[in-house]
Amino acid sequence: MKTVICIGMAGSGKTTFMQRLNSHLNASKHRPYVINLDPAVLKIPFGANIDIRDSIKYKKVMENYGLGPNGAIVTSLNLFSTKLDQVIKLVENKRDKFEHCIIDTPGQIECFIWSASGAIITESFASTFPTVIAYIVDTPRNSSPTTFMSNMLYACSILYKTKLPMIVVFNKTDVTKADFAKEWMTDFEAFQEALKVDQELNGELGNSSGYLGSLVNSMSLMLEEFYSQLDTVGVSSHTGEGFDEFLKAVDNKVEEYENYYKTERDRILAERAAKEQARKESSLEGLMKDLGIKDQNKRDTSTKNDDEAEVVSDVEEGEDDGLVLRDEDEDLEREYTFAGDERTTGTINDNYPDLQRKYEEDLSKTAKSASSQTAENIARYLRK
């Protein structure tokens, strides 16, 4: 299943684009699986298989948490992302019936792209399905070189934030054709000429004069490499023009995802797992060193004394075998103590010096054995 996440500035025609894309796929007998992630929208012009508004009430979030519009959108996405594993399972169950999954996001682009929940949502879909970002651009509003450059810088930041294949979709081509934008992205001199004309028209008080004009000029040089990684498509959500070209671009980006992005993601995950394993082994080695024991696989058992008594019960029977006979003197004080104890009376210790010594040795050996066994259990747990 190919996943398309539609992202765009407020007013770029993103929801209308979703409606036209849904209609176009239905007309071509490829009904998509539709997900709406905008909790603040009052009405959507398409049927959604999964709608965030069914589980999150935007106005209730504002009232309960005392938030404004943007804060409520972020909180709604955070609440929804806690159940994202269930959403992924629902989509996975339908991957044999649907070829495309299209996702609409909030118009407040920063609430989705730069929030933790937005990163969780994009990462979850990208790790399960081939995922493409469709960045919707309002073409009439980008006829100015400075505005166009601002939009491209935002597209660049989204690309490096999501690390997913991106298609720049110039919407509303029925109002203004996107030929000028495509030319600016492929021909540096054409953009320089347009910037110069814009400076002359606006004069010294214009938005493109002075420092800003110099900055835009420098940025156009920097973004030349960025443009080479993008596919650009001009569409009209009003007339349906360009949507066949958009679907072809999606297929190209899915192939790019499989060949490059997925491989890179797998490499990063493998490196992360290797670092985590190395960290665990380092922590285990430090723990065993602190406890004064060796690794169980490296322990040398050949030097162990066979006659060494592990516990008191391992002492061979014989003289002074640890059995204390009842004293004939009933008034004899029977306090089993060790040397150095303030309560020591000396009665038992003085009469049975060998027994006293065995108690101390056996107790010390038992404590060491218990400590060693505890350390081995901890090490075995950490290896898991």
What pLDDT, in 10s, does the model give residues 126-158? 988 999 999 999 999 998 888 898 899 899 899
359 within some domain: no
Closest alpha carbon to 16 in 36, 46, 41: 46
SS3 of residue 176 by DSSP: coil
* Residue 361 contacts residue 376 (beta carbons within 8 Å): no
SS3 of residue 267 by DSSP: helix
* Residue 56 contacts residue 80 (beta carbons within 8 Å): yes
Each residue of 268-285: pLDDT tens digit?
Answer: 878 888 888 888 888 888
DSSP letter assigned to residue 34: E
CA distance 130 to 230: 17
Q: Which residues contact 304 (CB under 8 A, 6 or more apart)?
A: none
* Residue 102 contacts residue 136 (beta carbons within 8 Å): no
349 within some domain: no
The β-bridge partners of 150 are none
Residues of the chain with pLDDT under 50: 204-208, 299, 301-304, 307-349
The pLDDT value recorded for residue 364 is: 67
The pLDDT value recorded for residue 236 is: 94
Q: Which residues contact 157 (CB under 8 A, 6 or more apart)?
A: none
96 within some domain: yes
CA distance 228 to 169: 15
The pLDDT value recorded for residue 330 is: 44
The pLDDT value recorded for residue 247 is: 94
Query: What is the per-residue burial (b if ≥16 Cβ within 10 Å, else e) of 322-353?
Result: eeeeeeeeeeeeeeebeeeeeeeeebbbeeee
82 within some domain: yes
Angle at alpha carbon of residue 79, lines to 78 and 82, rounded to 5°: 90
Tokens of 127: 């790790």
Tokens of 233: 């498509």
The pLDDT value recorded for residue 343 is: 43
The pLDDT value recorded for residue 203 is: 59
Task: Indicate the burial class of 171 (C-beta count within 10 angstroms; 0-12, 13-18, 19 or more).
Answer: buried
In the chain, how many domains are there? 1
SS3 of residue 166 by DSSP: strand
Q: Which residues contact 260 (CB under 8 A, 6 or more apart)?
A: none
* Residue 109 contacts residue 7 (beta carbons within 8 Å): yes
DSSP letter assigned to residue 310: S
364 within some domain: no
The pLDDT value recorded for residue 323 is: 43
Tokens of 368: 């060491």
Q: To the nearest 10°, the Cα dihedral for 34, 35, 41, 44?
A: 10
Residues of the domain holding 8: 2-182+230-256
CA distance 384 to 379: 9
Tokens of 27: 């007309």
The pLDDT value recorded for residue 311 is: 45
37 within some domain: yes
Tokens of 212: 């800003």
CA distance 361 to 161: 64
Q: What CATH number corresponds to the domain at position 70?
A: 3.40.50.300
Amino acid letter, residue 100: H
The pLDDT value recorded for residue 329 is: 45
